[in-house]
Amino acid sequence: MEAAGSLCLTALVGMPTVAAGADLAALIADAASRSGVALEHGDALVVAQKIVSKAEGRRVRLAEVEPSPRARELARTVDKDPRLVELILRESQQVLRARPGVIIVLHRLGFVLANAGIDASNVESEGGGEAVLLLPADPDASAERLRRGLRALTGAELGIVVNDSFGRAWRLGTVGTAIGVAGLPALVDLRGTPDRTGRALRVTEIGTADELAAAASLLMGQAAEGRPVIHVRGFPYPPRPGKASELLRPAHLDLFR
Domains of the chain: 8-50+137-247 (3.30.1330.100), 59-133 (3.90.1660.10)
Which element (helix H / strand E) includes 178? strand 175-182
pLDDT at 121: 73
For the chain, what percent of residues have pLDDT higher than 90?
Answer: 72
Span 91-120, average pLDDT = 93
Q: Which pTM value belongs to this model?
A: 0.90
Helix (H, G, I), strand (E, B) or coil at 133: strand
- Give Rg (Cα) of the chain: 19
- Between residues 84 and 127, the one the model is more confident about: 84
pLDDT at 222: 67
Distance of CA 147 to the CA centre of its chain: 15
pLDDT band (50, 70, 90) for residue 249? confident
pLDDT at 233: 96
pLDDT at 2: 44
**Whether the predicted pLDDT of 195 surpasses 90:** no
Span 15-22, average pLDDT = 92
**Spatial separation of the C-alpha atoms in residues 197 and 226, rounded to whole Å:** 45
- Between residues 90 and 207, the one the model is more confident about: 90
Span 60-68, average pLDDT = 94
